[in-house]
Amino acid sequence: MRNNKIDLLRGISILLVLLHHFNIPYKLHDTFLGIQIFGESLSTLIARNGNYGVTLFFVISGFLITQHTLQRSGTLAQIKLKDFYIRRIARIMPCLVLLVALVTALGAMGLKPFINQAPNDIEVSYGLTVFSAFTFWMNILIIENGWVNYALGVLWSLSVEEVFYLAFPILCVVLGRGKGFIIFLLAIIIYAPYFRSLHFAEESGAYLYHYFSSFDGIAMGCLTALMTQRMGQKIQVSKIVVPIIVLLMAAVYLYAPIKEVSTWGISIFALLSAMLIFCFAQNPYTESRSILSKGVAWIGQRSYEMYLFHLIILGLFKVFYFPKETLASEKLMLLPIYFIAVFVLSWAIEKYYSTPMNRKIRQVLLKNG
């Protein structure tokens, strides 16, 4: 049974990412959303730090992958490596293959957003870009060469997650019987802000895109799942705790551009995210009551598809509405069309492609489905 509160968090995360990426080519500061608040436009305050949404995704992902492992195996050390990898392949690969196929087809039509560029004056072949996508080092490709392919650039975060999960079951087997796994996770959490400090504000984006810049969020999610299992529902969380955590997360989000506070900002936001997830885990199956929360949870259930395919929609927009020439009124027209198009496309992919493929792969390769 799904945790509706986790889906709600996923929904909020993907909405922040979607708005962030729309506001990069189609800046909304010249619309009514450009109203000044504390010296910044409202649109900038809301949209500039969408990468914190990815941080929240990392924490959620670490939490769920550890929780599911514990539920299926009892302990981390008893994880079934083959089953774990098959489940990851079934979830990740169908959408990844479809995304690459779509980008390849649109690029073959000569549409610029889907063709490799050379932002740092370094030519990177499309074949190498696709290879990096399927071998999970798109983030390194971007750090070294810039955002070489607009529509495939989102795969930097998938690279981070999948490298962690390639190692996850092996670490569970090797370190899962004692305190070793927990010590390993704590080491990652401690090292990450130091690594980000080494690459502070670099134009390469290493402070954001590198494995060691992002692993701490996943590690915090893993620890949260372990704490939840050990403590169960013994802790009674006061109703005031969740609003306080949410306010603190909002304060970090709005405080400054992530580039200026990446060393500790990402760690603090990840920690607050983990605390929020821990609170939600105490009563995981509460139904969403309002239409708004149900809608955001619905979005969250399809957040993977939305994340991978939303730049297909934006890329097509850029073909017909050149960002520098797009009027404020046109941006306001495009914004709702963009969200609706992403929702419809992702719903169709999830319903008719990714979920059936996921189920089929599991049925064929897993004894218990």
Both tokens of 255, joined, read 């405080």
Quote the CA–CA distance of 296 and 201 in Å, as a whole number.
Answer: 33
Q: What does 133-173 look like in DSSP terms, one character per residue? A: HHTT-HHHHHHHH----TTTTTHHHHHHHHHHHHHHHHHHH
Q: CA 225 to CA 235: how far, in whole Å?
A: 14
Nearest to 75 by CA among 85, 66, 83: 66
How many whole angstroms separate alpha carbon 2 and alpha carbon 67?
12
Residues of the chain with pLDDT under 50: none
Q: Which amino acid is at 296?
A: V
Contact, 159 vs 138, CB < 8 A?
A: yes
pTM score of the predicted model: 0.96
H helices of the chain, where? 4-23, 42-47, 51-73, 81-108, 126-134, 138-145, 155-175, 180-198, 206-209, 211-231, 241-255, 262-281, 291-301, 303-320, 328-349, 355-365
Of the candidates 219, 347, 221, 236, the one whose C-alpha atom is nearest the C-alpha of residue 282 is 236
Q: How many other CB atoms are there within 10 angstroms of residue 238's CB atom?
A: 9
Residues 219 and 171: their CA atoms lie apart, in Å, by 12
In this predicted structure, what is the pLDDT of residue 237?
79
Cβ proximity of 202 and 210 under 8 Å:
no
In contact, 63 and 221? CB cutoff 8 Å: yes
Whether residue 351 contacts residue 345, with contact meaning beta carbons closer than 8 Å, is answered with no
